[in-house]
Structure 1
Amino acid sequence: MQNNYKEITSDKIVSDQLMKGAYIRHDFPGFKDDFAVIHCLVKMFTPKTILEVGTSHGYGTRVLCVAFGVKPFFSFFSPVYSIDVPPKTDPDIIYPDHEDGHPRLTGKHCRFIYRYHQLYGDSRFFDYSPYYPLEAWFIDGKHDYEFCTADTLQALKSKPKLIIWHDMQIEEVCRAVIDGMSKEKENYVLYRVVDTRIGFAVRKDVLCLL
């Protein structure tokens, strides 16, 4: 696969200063480093809002809430939005090859601690415009070419300053990101954090922050 991204290592992003107070993930091998990068990217580019595709258990949502400074239990406002499939959706329909799990209660490891806005629907066709401006996106939904391409194009509609993708080591995801961003080379720079599963794109007018 031809590289259409710049390679960067996590030590160029993650710092002790940016990581102060971060929620550290230990629930899966490699997630500690992956989500440290996500936390620090949010801190570095300071978007005012973010939309997460793929709430699942809510661990990633929790990382975002902490990075955005949402106070546990007492916040009345949250800049974090997250979309997942509607409740009672059959996981065998979403993941026919059992390639991913899906909890009975969406966001259960975040929703009782941190306030965020839970959305439900098909991320490919959902109308996000009522929630604009969305200054950042974290795409971690279904990890195939169709969904990841559609989610990337959805994100671009809001002209965000930052888009982050998880699981860039999956060939279909990487190809979807490259293809989805192919017409935005004049506006964005695409990176892959080679010692993690993270990819991200930064709008060129804010690139000086990296």
Structure 2
Amino acid sequence: MSRSREATEPTTDSDVPSVAAVFGVDDSVPYETERTVQRYLSQETRHNVLQVLLGHPSHLASTTEIAYYVPRSRSAVSDQLADLADHEILTQYHHESNEDARDVPADFWGLTVFGVSLLAEYNYLRGLPVLRAVHDATHKTETVKRHEECPRPVLPSAVEEAFDGDERDAADVPGDDTTLADLREETFYADAAPADPSALNGGADGDRTLDELF
């Protein structure tokens, strides 16, 4: 698995691996790369992890945040994070100034330059505004809020620029009649906010555990 690190810029294009090399496919076989990548990205837990990161305001999230939103066990989420890191799609970015802070993470998962270019190629970035709207409408525990609001490193500029560009492009695309209500029906998030927020945590004392969410 990729080691935690401060966000850094790739030095040259040669630092970004090829899709064929990462996935171990023979690029000369027609459509073999496309089939392999689509199969890989569509695995449910892995797909949901990527959606969490795409919808996150910073596109950087702690393991606790990701595990809260994805309706799987923490160990299953951790396994897929490790696998995405092995495929150089994600890495952990380290924020040294958080090391001595109480109750906040110092390591955050985010896309690599290779990862964001791969997702752009397979049209994963076009839904950024919708995923962000779902994220913002999702109920969050105090722990998740604290993690989301804490300081974190800056992503490499190539990653930031890919997100910024696709957010602008997607906002200008006409004819997309998907509504937030539609997304509430379809979202995989652990506890997407209902139309009536007062229904949240009815009769519960304090934050619920992940087991109680499912």
TM-score, scaled relative to structure 2: 0.26
TM-score, scaled relative to structure 1: 0.26
Structure label with greater radius of gyration:
2
